[in-house]
Amino acid sequence: MPEIRFNVVTQDWIVFAGERARRPDQFAEHGIERQPRPARDPQCPFCPGNEAMTPPEIFRLPADGNWKVRVVPNKFAALDSQGELHRRAWGLKRVISGVGLHEVLIEAPEHDRTMPMLEPEEMRSIIRVYHQRYCAAAADPRVAHVTVFKNHGLRAGTSLVHTHSQLIATPIIPPQVRSRMENALRFYDEYGDCVFCRVLAEEEADAERVVVSTDRFLAFIPFAAYSPFHTWIYPRHHEASFALATDEELDDLAVTLRTVLRKTWRGLNDPDFNLAVRSAPAECAMVKYYHWYLSVIPRVTRIAGFELGSGMFINTGIPEQTAGFLRSVPAG
C-alpha cells in the first residue's frame, strides 16, 4: 500500500508509491551515457590556456603557477555585481534592484574529469574554496543570502560540461530558506531543541537510512526524502551558518561528500545530479534553531503535473532500500 510520510524539516508530505516503487539498482537505467571528452578542449573557457575567454579571475588556488581551482565571475551573471541596492513599491508591486554576486568555481583544470572522479586532496581544496567564497560573499553589505551549488548533467541544468560549481549571492533571503527557518523556529519554540539536531540523532539511531558516517558528519537519505537517493549531509556539531565551519569540519566534509558522490556515481552509472549548501543567512549565523547542511540530489526521476499542481512529491524509491543500496556500493 502507498505511504505518505511527513518531512519534519520542510513540513512537506511526500507520497511513497509502493505499487510503483522500483528496486534501487533499476534507477541506474536513467544514467545518461557520457561521451568521451579530451583532457583539454580548445573551445572550453574553463580549460587551462583559455583563461582569456572568462572575465578576469577573482581567486585561484594555488595563487601562483598552474591553478587547481579557479574562480571567475559568471560571464552571463544573473545579478549585477556593480549595482546599488534599491527598493521600490507602488500598490501591490514590489521591486528590488537585481544586485548581487554570481561566480563560477572551476573545480579542476582537466576537461575530462568530474567531481566524483577527483582525489581526496582535490576535493578538500574545492570545499575550502566553497567556504572562502561563501564568507567573502556574505560580507558584502548588499547580500542577504548566499547559495553555493553545482549542476552536473543536462537534467540538472548544466550548460558547460567542464566540472564546475556556482555561487549566487542575493539581496533577499529566498522564500524557501525563510520558510524552513520559520519551521525550525516553531519547532524550537515548541520543543526547545534544534529540529536538525533531533533528526540527525534519530537517523543515526535508526541507522537504516544512513549512507556514510564520519567523525563530524552524517550522510543519510531522509525518512521522507523528496526523490530517490536524495541525500542530506549534516554536521554533527550544531551551527547555523556554513561560514562557521572549522578547517577540520571542511576537511571531513570533503571526505564525506566525495564518498557519497562516488557511491552514487558507481551505483547509478554517473547520473545527473544537483548539489547545494543550505545555510542560514549571515545575519542569523548564531541562532540556536537552524543548522546548515548539504544536499545531494541525483536526477533519476522527473517532476510532472502532480508535483507542479499540488506541491507534493511522489517518490518511487523507498529511503531504507536506496540507502542500503548506496551503503553496499564501494566508494573506491
Catalytic residue set: 164
Residues near 95 by Cβ (< 8 Å), separated by ≥ 6? Answer: 87, 88, 89
Residues near 42 by Cβ (< 8 Å), separated by ≥ 6? Answer: 49, 50
Single out the residue of 218, 329, 195, 327 nearest to residue 266, CA to CA: 329
- Does residue 266 contact residue 332 with C-beta atoms inside 8 Å? yes
Buried b (16+ CB within 10 A) or exposed e, 148-164: bbbbbbebbebeebbbb
* Residue 238, all three cell numbers: 550544531
Q: Please provide the distance, in angstroms rounded to a whole number, between the alpha carbons at the two ends of the chain.
A: 37
Beta-ladder partners of 149 = 166, 276
**CA–CA distance, 289 with 236 (Å, rounded to integer):** 14
**CA–CA distance, 182 with 289 (Å, rounded to integer):** 9
